[in-house]
Structures are given as C-alpha cells and as structure tokens.
Amino acid sequence: MTNTSKLVPVKGVSKSPVKTELATFAAGCFWGVEHEFRKEKGVLATAVGYMGGRTENPTYKQVCYEDTGHAEVVQLEFDPDTVTYTQLLDLFWNLHDPTTLNRQGPDVGDQYRSAVFFHSPAQREAAAAVRDRLQASGEIKGRIVTEITAAPVFYKAEEYHPAGADELLLSRAQLAQQGFGPVANQMALAPSAPDYAAHSLPWPVPFEDAHHTIGNVMTQFQDYGGGAYYHGGDDLRVQDLEWVTAPITGKLEAGHYGYNTNADGSNTKFWKAWPQTGDHMYFEVALIDEQGYRFELHHIDRDSLPAEIVAALNAGGGTIAKGTRLGRVVHWPNSDTDDTIYNHTHYNIVAPDGIHLNPEHYSALIGDNLPPDVSQIYAVGADGRATEFGDGRLSNRPDEVVVVASDKLGENIYTHTPAYSRVVFENGAEQVWDFRERLATADGKFPPIWEFLRESLTTPSGEVLRTQGDYSSRSFLLRLRLPKDAHGKFRVEIGDATGNVTVRNGEVL
C-alpha cells in the first residue's frame, strides 16, 4: 500500500478517522482533477503522480515527452464513512471524457488516458459496476474506454506539483506554498503609451506559416474550469523548438510564473525569480525597457538558454540587445484544432501599472483585410428577453445590444475575440470597448469581463447561446449597454486589432 505520508492533507481536516482507504484515478492532466477531488467532503489527503508505466521514478518531463507508459494520476485518502468509493467513481467519470482514448481535450498521449487503479477486489467490482451503469444508462455518450486495473507503484510528482491545479490556476495559498511571490504594480493610473510607433517592433519569433500565426490574442476569452479571464497577450505559433529573440533592448529577467484568476477576469501574477526552479512549461524570459514596460515571453525551455543569457542572469540581469537569442520555445504536448502541436510562446507587453498592451498594435503588421464575422445581433430588454435585430428597426428601446461575433487574422485558422465593439447614436450617445491598443477602458481602468461579454443569452426560439473559450469551443457574445440618453438612429461597429470593422445600422422607433 502507498505510504500515505506522501499525500497532502486537505485544509480543514484536522483528524483522520480510524479507517481510511486509498483511491487512484487517471482523468487527464492531474492538476485540475486533484483540485476537484480536494473539494469533496470525506477526501482527507491527495497527491498527484505517475502510475501504470515502465520507468522507475519518472519525472514530469519524461512522462510528457518519453515513452514511459505512465498515466498522470491523482491518489487520495478518503473516509469511507463520509464518502463512498462509488461516489468517488461517479465524480471521477463526471470530471472528464472517458470515451476518448489517450486524450482529454487538447491533451494528447497515453499519459492522459482514462483509468481506475483499484486497491482491492471490492474497488475493482465497484468500478466495473459504475462503468456498466453509466454505459447502459446513456448518461455518457459513446463507448467508455476507461481502463480498470490493479494499482502498481505510485510515483509522486515533483515538489512543484503539490496539492493544486496547473500553476496557471493555483490558489494564492498554493502559489505561496510553491515559493511564488505576488508581482506588485508600480502606479495606480495608466501612464502614457510606450515610446514605440504602431507596428514598429519585430515579432520575437518567425511564425510557423500563414495559417498558424497568432493562436489566442490579448482580448481572448478563456475559461478552462478555473474561472473566466482575458488571455492578456498573444500566443505566437512557431515550429517545434523555435528560437525566441529579443524584440527590444532592455534589462533581462527570468523566472517561473503562476496566475490566480480574479472575479473581474483579471489575473494576479505570481513569480519565482531565477535561479529558483519550477514547472519547465511555465518559464518566462522578460526584457524591461527604460520606461518600465515589460516584454514577457512565456513557455521558454529553460534548458535551452544560451550561455550568454545564463551568465547575465547569474550576474543579476544586465542589458540585452534587441535581436539577441533568448532561448527556444518549449515543446508543447497538446494538439490544437488543426490537429497539430500547439508550439508557441505567449507574448505579453505589460505597462508599469500592470495594464496589458496589445502586441498586435506595436509589432509588425500581419496581413488581414477581413473584418470580424457578425453572425447575429439581439436586442435585450430590461427583463432579459431577447429579440432578433432583424432590419434594425426596434419598436422598443432595449437595455443592451448583444452581438454574436468572432474574428480571424487573415489566413490564420484560429478564432479570436474581436478587440473593438461600439454602439453609437446620432445624438452622440455611445458605449464602446476599444482594446486595439491596450486592455483598459478609456480612463485606464480594467474592463470587467462580464461587462465586455455576456455570459449567456436565450434566443427567441429558446436556444441558449454562451460565451465559450477553450480549445474546442469558441463563441463570443459581445455586450453593448445602451446609454440612458440613447435614441433614434444608431450604428453597431465590431472591429479587429488590424483596423477592419463590420458595421450594422439600426434605429429605435
């Protein structure tokens, strides 16, 4: 039996029952799965690790990139008098898609397989019974491919994976436990724009091709189960292990990072400076210019840093010249919608006050003459009822206009959240969200995500539309609240960061 001292106690559990049991599940990436199990009453302690393979004492990097045969698993100790093994099985099968072989969403490989590792004959029988019940009932569409096998040796994951989710989705306490410190902003109000002309800077990487340029953009709505947030920067799609070069001349910094998502859609950043260690997938190299603007490049392979960069970091930083090679993009183990590997660096430009600037505005122009696609517009009354925009002639003044829209950058395959939305009336009354240059309102404040977007909307036919932003589903409901003094003819504008705009006209009768 596994030594339960390897498991991390759940907060608030002060005393273990006389009788406890172990359970081990594989349901894809172990961080988020563990996070959900730790919320279940009766679960006393958990740990993430590896099981079911051939390699002894594997590392996370080996499991991701080598043929170890191990699955990412969550092992937990539970009180069977509070939560039964069958209840844990129900939760397990609800947490993931057990019908995809060696895959969970964008995560592909046998380390992401669905599996129950039983610790007793009773657990084996219970797992088979629950699987058969779910299959027969039709609750799970498709054939369940979950393995049910005896639990072999459990190898606990490295210490930078303790009791929590992905380092991008950790709680503040978990980030602190890992040695991260919060990043403080320097000023309360947005300063003037940085001293760079529009489209004057080079992109820090060569794009893979015209179809794979920017994956997620700065305004991209994201929600992978840990809360809705703005992406904050651009994912620059590249060939595997591509070099990243300095887009400016600036002071060098590097370290591992994590984020904590806030209710307004912002993210609080946490940081472990060089030479501290952390998850190799979440390593950043940054350059800070003389004005204090920070150019951040995420997902750099720490092991690929050139000797010049390592020496500068060991000496405390120093100035790095524009065009210098900073390191290679880490190999990304996930597939995107084009069924290719999503190798990329996440590129942020952050002002001294913490406001994120749009890399598309300051970097070389990418050819794009296509305006955003507007598939439908709805007028929504104060009671929340929606009517179709139709010819734009509205008999009653709506409370807001909701635009179902998306954008693509030229020949790029990726679907983006438009950076600009506006409704303007002939009397000058308007509501506008303009993120073409920075992720902020006109007065320099952070834009709450559910003011810019509407979470859901029920159409007149009863269909429920939702704003979605994960690897497989992307749809955006842009929200424009009408000013109180708005009346008469109006214009709805939806635009992208390149300057293309789609226009629809209307009138409140």
Q: What are phi and psi of 445, to 5 degrees?
A: -95, 160
Phi-psi domain of 479 (left: phi exceeds 0; alpha: psi -120 through 50; beta: other): beta
Q: Are strands 420-425 and 430-434 parallel, antiparallel or unpaired?
A: antiparallel
Residue 449 to residue 466: CA distance in whole angstroms: 14
Gyration radius of the chain's alpha carbons: 25
Residue 98 to residue 336: CA distance in whole angstroms: 20
Element (H, E) at 452: helix 449-452
Residue 108 to residue 91: CA distance in whole angstroms: 22
**Three-class HEC string of 233-248:** CEEEECCCCCEEECCC
* Cis, bond preceding 275 (omega within 30 deg of 0): yes
Write the CA distances from 328 to 170, 260, 310, integer angstroms. 26, 26, 13
Residue 246 to residue 166: CA distance in whole angstroms: 28
Residue 346 to residue 100: CA distance in whole angstroms: 28
CA 48 to chain centre: 21
Residue 453 to residue 221: CA distance in whole angstroms: 9
Among candidate residues 29, 163, 330, 477, the one labeled active-site is 29
Whether 64 is catalytic: no
**Cβ-contact 93, 28 below 8 angstroms:** no
DSSP 413-436: ---B--SEEEEEETTS-EEEEE-S
- Beta bridge pairs of residue 393: 507
Q: Sign of the C-alpha dihedral, residues 112, 113, 119, 122?
A: positive
Nearest to 12 by CA among 226, 179, 175, 173: 173
Place of tokens 């679960």: 43
At 392, which amino acid appears?
G
Burial of 159 (0-12, 13-18, 19+ CB in 10 A): exposed
Place of tokens 């309102």: 441
- Beta strand spans in 243-353 (E): 243-245, 250-261, 267-273, 283-288, 294-297, 319-320, 325-328, 344-350
Q: Which residues are catalytic?
A: 29
